[in-house]
């Protein structure tokens, strides 16, 4: 199961993200820069030059915390001598005139010369937080199932292992009461 956000705008400064849980219980998020604002929504994003970021379980927890507290989560990753930096944080833009304030969360990710920004409404950020919790739960379930299998294997080996009495020296064992 994946999660996506499509955050295009008229200034062509938006972005999109697609997140999915990986085989090793990390979260891979691919970020895509907005390159057009076509009304049919086709070809609005550059899918050839994505920035891919792999988040650990602790980093997922920090993203959840950022949503819960209207806070910020920052990250710094290196892979093959390339660095990727970014942040995910709450913002509020004061409304002009009779327009209400706008609130949301924004991802900003930079790799080399490429920076991609992707905005999430308050509702989208809550949904993202729930998706992150889902990913963490799947990771916990996987680890739990793995632990159960290892425990079962250990117990089966214990059953097959010779008992203490069977491994002791027969000459040193007491014969018991010989009264006959």
Q: What is the pLDDT of residue 62?
A: 97
Question: Predicted confidence band at 54 (pLDDT cuts at 50, 70, 90)?
Answer: very high
Question: Predicted confidence band at 164 (pLDDT cuts at 50, 70, 90)?
Answer: low
Residue with more model confidence, 171 or 63:
63
Q: Which residues, including other chains, have CB under 8 Å from residue 113's CB and lie 6 or more apart?
A: none
Question: Predicted confidence band at 27 (pLDDT cuts at 50, 70, 90)?
Answer: very high
CA 74 from centre of chain: 14
Number of H helices, E strands in the chain: 3, 8
| Average pLDDT across the chain, whole number | 88
**To the nearest 10°, the Cα dihedral for 121, 112, 58, 63?**
-10
Q: Residues 50, 28, 69, 73: is their CA dihedral positive or negative?
A: negative
Question: Predicted confidence band at 69 (pLDDT cuts at 50, 70, 90)?
Answer: very high
pLDDT at residue 47 greater than cutoff 80: yes
Q: What is the pLDDT of residue 74?
A: 97
CA distance 143 to 130: 20
């Amino acid at each position: 199961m994946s999660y996506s956000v499509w955050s295009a705008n008229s200034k062509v400064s938006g972005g999109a993200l697609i997140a999915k849980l990986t085989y090793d219980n990390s979260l891979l998020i691919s970020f895509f820069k907005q390159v057009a604002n076509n009304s049919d929504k086709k070809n609005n994003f550059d899918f050839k030059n994505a920035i891919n970021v792999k988040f650990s379980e602790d980093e997922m927890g920090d993203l959840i915390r950022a949503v819960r507290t209207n806070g910020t989560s920052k990250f710094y990753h290196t892979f093959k001598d390339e660095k990727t930096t970014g942040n995910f944080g709450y913002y509020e833009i004061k409304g002009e005139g009779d327009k209400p304030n706008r609130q949301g969360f924004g991802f900003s990710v930079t790799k080399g010369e490429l920076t991609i920004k992707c905005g999430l409404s308050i509702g989208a950020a809550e949904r993202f937080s729930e998706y992150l919790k889902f990913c963490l739960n799947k990771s916990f379930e996987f680890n739990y199932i793995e632990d159960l299998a290892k425990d079962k294997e250990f117990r089966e080996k214990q059953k097959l292992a010779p008992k203490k009495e069977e491994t002791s020296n027969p000459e040193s064992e007491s014969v018991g009461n010989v009264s006959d």
